[in-house]
Amino acid sequence: MPSSPLARLAPPLFVLIWATGFIVARAVAPYADPLTFLLVRYLLALAVLGLIILVARASWPRTASEWRNGLIAGALLHGCYLGGVFWSVKHGLPAGISALVAGLQPLVTGALAGPLLGETVSGRRWAGIGLGFVGAVLVVAPKLGAGGVPAFPLLICILGMLSITVGTIWQKRAGSAQDLRVNAFVQYIGAAAVTLPMVLLTEEMRMEWTPPLIGAMAWAVLGLSIGAIGLLLFLIRQGAVVGVATLLYLVPPVAAIMAFVIFGEALSLIQMLGMACAALGVAVASRS
């Protein structure tokens, strides 16, 4: 059982905040190039975290390996994953397909956690992973278009999903002992280092600083880059990476409900059934 209020609140709070990322992506699309938005978000997160670390007098990494591990985790968890998904959607991959690809992460994590981390994935947990995936499919199914799926953007999206999977495992193995604030700071250096070349090569760095963009950026920095990522690192430190990955099955249902409330997107019966199935899958996978 969780040993503290934070441990009990962290999973639902993480899902709730993480789901807002899809709302932010939609809200900023008319005002900014996606990778440029991500790069500015990383740089602002670095500024905020740097101030917090200085005020708290937290200890910086003392060895080259600690810096290396954080930079690699950041490049994988943020730079390659978010950059790959944003780029693929911009270049024609339907959002529903990208959500389905992201839904493969718990399956891949379950397959890799044994040989790489020595975690045992029980039959109950595999059943929960399967139920969660079915639920995620049902939630995004009404949004899947009938047209062809562009092959190269699909490949980039798959590579992004593999990136966050490997990044989660890397973080569990190499970064769990560091101060979470310092670890996140180093990660965003790695994320910015990966994203900057992609911005220079593929975008015009368009940013229209309208009130919607400013509001979305503020939430992306404080809520997502600091709040959600801090919770993610905390959850990885506290538990098995397969259990953490399975929580992501709840993100599409929560994001669909947010889109219904904020943007007026329709919610069909099959989506509501998918939400129930995803929640059941996570509940089954999370049981001891």
Q: What is the 3-state secondary structure (H, E, C) of the chain?
A: CCCCHHHHHHHHHHHHHHHHHHHHHHHHCCCECHHHHHHHHHHHHHHHHHHHHHHHCCCCCCCHHHHHHHHHHHHHHHHHHHHHHHHHHHCCCCHHHHHHHHCCHHHHHHHHHHHHHCCCCCHHHHHHHHHHHHHHHHHHHHHCCCCCCCHHHHHHHHHHHHHHHHHHHHHHHHCCCCCHHHHHHHHHHHHHHHHHHHHHHHCCCCECCCHHHHHHHHHHHHHHHHHHHHHHHHHHHHCCHHHHHHHHHHHHHHHHHHHHHHHCCCCCHHHHHHHHHHHHHHHHHHCC
The predicted-structure confidence for 167-188, as pLDDT tens digits, reads as follows 988 887 775 567 889 999 999 9
Q: What is the mean pLDDT of residues 162-170?
A: 89
Q: Reply yes or no on whether the pLDDT at 1 is more than 50.
A: no
Tell me the C-alpha distance between 158 and 154, whole Å.
Answer: 6
CA 113 to the chain's CA centroid: 18
Mean pLDDT of the chain: 83
- What is the residue extent of each domain of the chain? 5-286
The predicted-structure confidence for 184-211, as pLDDT tens digits, reads as follows 999 999 999 999 999 999 899 999 999 9
What's the pLDDT at 258?
A: 82
Q: 222 or 240: which carries more pLDDT confidence?
A: 222
Using 50, 70 and 90 to split pLDDT, how confident is the model at 143?
Answer: low
Do 181 and 53 form a contact (C-beta atoms < 8 A)? yes
Helices 251-263 and 123-140: crossing angle in degrees, nearest 10, is 20
Proportion of the chain above pLDDT 70, given as a percent? 87
Beta bridge partners of 32: 207
Beta-carbon contacts of 250 under 8 Å, excluding residues fewer than 6 positions away, are: 15, 19, 132, 278, 279, 282
Its pTM stands at: 0.81
Do 87 and 156 form a contact (C-beta atoms < 8 A)? yes
What's the pLDDT at 130?
A: 82
Residue type, 118: G
Using 50, 70 and 90 to split pLDDT, how confident is the model at 148?
Answer: low
What's the pLDDT at 194?
A: 95
Q: What is the mean pLDDT of residues 245-260?
A: 77
The number of beta carbons lying within 10 Å of the beta carbon of residue 153 is: 21
Q: Reply yes or no on whether the pLDDT at 22 is more than 90.
A: no
Tell me the C-alpha distance between 213 and 264, whole Å.
Answer: 20
The predicted-structure confidence for 53-109, as pLDDT tens digits, reads as follows 999 999 998 889 889 999 999 999 999 998 888 888 777 776 667 777 777 777 787
Tell me the C-alpha distance between 236 and 151, whole Å.
Answer: 33
The predicted-structure confidence for 126-142, as pLDDT tens digits, reads as follows 888 788 788 877 877 77
Q: 78 or 22: which carries more pLDDT confidence?
A: 78
Token match 């440029």: residue? 36
Q: Reply yes or no on whether the pLDDT at 28 is more than 90.
A: no
